[in-house]
Amino acid sequence: MKWFLIASLGIVLSGCGPKRSTDPDELALQIIKASGAEAQMSAMLDTMTAQAPPENAAAIKGLFNVSELSGRMVPIYKKHFTVDEMQQMLDFHESELGKKMKGLNPTLVKEGAEIGQKYVQEKIAAIQQTATP
């Protein structure tokens, strides 16, 4: 009897958690936000606005809409991922590991770019040595 009560409680509680959307448009937008992509787009817009001539900054800020751009990215996710895959991606991005990855992404990109730049410089130097008589 005790086993039956525990099993019944488990079944009931398993249905009480938050339900994931099955709408692919909604899932794609949630992934774009949870992955940090929307925040990156917003930061790029801020950088672009800051680098623009002051007389154009307000026009740029009013012209570009990050939410609109995010919405235009939805078909890409729908083309390449199933609803189940998008739900799994969202689960990952909301997990501790996903949050850690999002937080470290700028560092990973910066360090990767430094390695790439050094690699290219080494190859250019090698080409120059073989081309010089």
Query: Do the Cβ atoms of 78 and 28 come closer than 8 Å?
Result: yes
Q: Is the pLDDT of residue 68 over 90?
A: yes
Asked if residue 6 is part of any domain, the answer here is no
**Helix-then-strand count for the chain, H and E:** 7, 0
Same structural domain, 44 and 67: yes
Query: Which position has the higher pLDDT, 21 or 82?
Result: 82
Burial status of residue 45 (CB atoms within 10 A of its CB: 0-12, 13-18, 19 or more): middle
pTM (predicted TM-score) = 0.70
Q: Is the pLDDT of residue 72 over 90?
A: yes
User: So what's the pLDDT on residue 5?
Assistant: 45
Query: Which position has the higher pLDDT, 3 or 91?
Result: 91
User: So what's the pLDDT on residue 13?
Assistant: 44
Same structural domain, 88 and 114: no
Helix (H) or strand (E) holding 59: helix 54-63
> Domain range for residue 73?
21-94
- pLDDT band (50, 70, 90) for residue 2: low
Same structural domain, 26 and 83: yes
